[in-house]
Amino acid sequence: MTTLPHDDLGTSWRNARPRAAGVHLDSAACSRQSGAVLDAVARHARHEAEIGGYAAEAAAEELLQQGRSVLAGLVGRAAADVAFTESASASLRTLVGRWRLPPGSRVGVLPGEYWHNLAALTDAGLTPVVLPADELGRADPAGVARVLRADPPALVHVTLVASHRGVVQPGRELAELCRAAGIPLVLDVAQALGHVDCDLGADVAYGTSRKWLAGPRGVGFLVLAPAESAQLTPLVGPHLFDDGGADTDHARWYESHDAHIGGRVGLVLAIGEHLAAGPDRVRARLAALGRATRERLDGRGGWSVAEPLDTPTAITTLQAPDGVDVRATAVRLREEHRVLVTAAGRERAPAELTGPVLRVSPHLDATEDHLDALAVALAG
């Protein structure tokens, strides 16, 4: 059995948060925020009431700019490239909405692309085309290279870690292939940032605060290379200002005028906590938690794990034995055993899933005892 590395991280993560009411194995849906993040969000709201919303925002601007800088660093870009948004989906809608590619422009995607992403692409008039992948949905770089050469799409959009399956795409190889072909690569890192390495050379990366970074809900980010940004048209942009918007960083044109600024402050703190924990150590413990989960659950009560044992993520998905209802199982686990997991429906990735899956996604504070408890409950 796998032993979990960096127990100190588990302890400090647990001690930094309110006590969980049960066993929380659901970080791919939404992680538990730390006390410091919760306090920072509440303090910002109080500050707004004391000095005024816009004055409080101005007072927080230096912190937010530091946050843009470290967030950008995690995806290999600079502070000027970061726009805070309201969610991962909002980021993608802004990106494709403002890019205004000609109707019917083709976008390379993998077979397991997240349903909301496909909806945003098609809603913007774009045509997803499926790139070659293996039986688990991981991109086949040689096959992708062939498509990019023979029939290049306008851009490639890849979800680095999926919502319905804990596999990681070969992001670095894809970035190199896209760069060589002169095609922009957009990475959805909603399930990846704070979980696996996202500094891979993509042109655009976007995601959300609430999952592996354990920040507040209702906050997301869109990180754009200046060359991609130059192809977008902001709704309200520099051309409307007498000074040509000279002092405004290019990505800021894509932030909402009004927003949950306290949530952004909370995300910045959560990123600081992630950096203080050490991203490499966090990744190593999360990968070991994934392996420990799969070791315990595969075959239990007839449930079967989709991911290879050593997949370096903390997301495990299980297919149900014949006749067992996945949603009812998630409810039973919560109500009878106080174990929180997700029942993920087939609609999330209709071209890849054949039915719903049970998703287990522990964060750093999970223990072997938690996973054993789930294994026993699942068999029951």
Q: Which residue has the tokens 């029939």?
A: 151
Beta carbon nearer to ligand PLP, 88 or 314:
88
Q: Please state the φ and ψ torsions of residue 347, each to the nearest 5 degrees.
A: -60, -20
Count of C-beta atoms within a 10 Å radius of residue 253: 19
Beta carbon of residue 237, minimum distance to ligand PLP (angstroms, whole number): 24
Which residues are at the interface with ligand PLP (CB under 6 A)? 87-89, 114, 116, 159, 162-163, 188, 190-191, 208, 220
Q: How far is the CB of 49 from ligand PLP (least distance, A)?
A: 27
For residue 92, give the H/E element and its range: helix 88-99
Q: Report DSSP state, residue 252.
A: G
| Closest to 67 (Cα-Cα) out of 339, 267, 347 | 267
Nearer to ligand PLP, 47 or 157 (CB): 157
**DSSP SS3 for 293:** helix
Which CB, 9 or 31, lies closer to ligand PLP? Answer: 31
Q: Closer CB to ligand PLP, residue 26 or residue 188?
A: 188
Alpha-carbon distance of 60 to 335, in angstroms, equals: 41
Question: Nearer to ligand PLP by C-beta: 33 or 87?
Answer: 87
Other CB atoms closer than 10 Å to residue 143's CB: what's the count? 13
Question: Closest approach of Cβ 214 to ligand PLP, in Å?
Answer: 14
Task: Kindly state the smallest distance separating residue 195's Cβ from ligand PLP, in Å.
Answer: 11
In whole angstroms, the minimum distance from the beta carbon of 362 to ligand PLP comes to: 16
Give the CA angle between residues 145, 160, 319 to the nearest 5°.
Answer: 110
